[in-house]
Chain A
Amino acid sequence: NAGVTQTPKFQVLKTGQSMTLQCAQDMNHEYMSWYRQDPGMGLRLIHYSVGAGITDQGEVPNGYNVSRSTTEDFPLRLLSAAPSQTSVYFCASSYSAGRSDTQYFGPGTRLTVL
């Protein structure tokens, strides 16, 4: 049981480049989400999904797209990277959208945009 996996672990991009951060879970969880973590800012929700085919915006969605074609996968796409998107990105999953459910986090992707 791998839990929540994220790839890559580290990434450096130039301004304007695009890329996809991968996230997968093997726990058959319905709810998945993406957060970014910045110094002094805590974790902020980017996008979330309550099930396959359903996604919605969180607190800071601009510049990011998501899709949920399967229960297992929830990729995050940066369309045109900007230095302000330099951050550590965490994917999380939980059994349901119940807000007292345990959130299982992946190990994170550290992204630097030059």
Chain B
Amino acid sequence: TQLLEQSPQFLSIQEGENLTVYCNSSSVFSSLQWYRQEPGEGPVLLVTVVTGGEVKKLKRLTFQFGDARKDSSLHITAAQPGDTGLYLCAGAYSGGGADGLTFGKGTHLIIQP
């Protein structure tokens, strides 16, 4: 079983601060996705990255895929209470079949007003 490590596991910061969440593996991803999950709901896709070194921006969220395609980061600028939720990274490993994605354990993010 491939492991995908996310850090930090929990993060509580004040509104307006910046933060970065990390997703790491010892194996190479063919693609990596970031999802956001709110209490009582299913995860919702934020972004997919497929190319090493790729950077994607979604308003105040910046997603980066490592050059070697083994790691990724999510950076939030000027966090707002609406950013509160569980952030999950999910990787598809090179050479893998149709057997779904490997999910990290998630980062629980709380933005205090």
Contacts and interface: CB of A to CB of B under 8 A. Distances in A.
Interface in B65-92: 88, 90, 92
A45 to B, nearest CB: 4
B88 A43 contact: yes
Contact of B43 (A31, A41, A97, A105): A105
B98 A97 contact: yes
B113 interface: no
A59 B96 CA distance: 13
Contacts of A48: 98-100
A59 B42 CA distance: 19
Contacts, number: 66
A53 interface: no
Contacts of A4: 42
B44 A105 contact: yes
Given A50-B98, A100-B92, A108-B40, A42 B104 contact: yes
A108 B98 contact: no
A42 B105 contact: yes
14 contacts: A43-B43, A45-B100, A48-B99, A48-B100, A56-B98, A56-B99, A58-B99, A90-B43, A99-B101, A100-B33, A100-B50, A103-B33, A103-B35, A103-B90
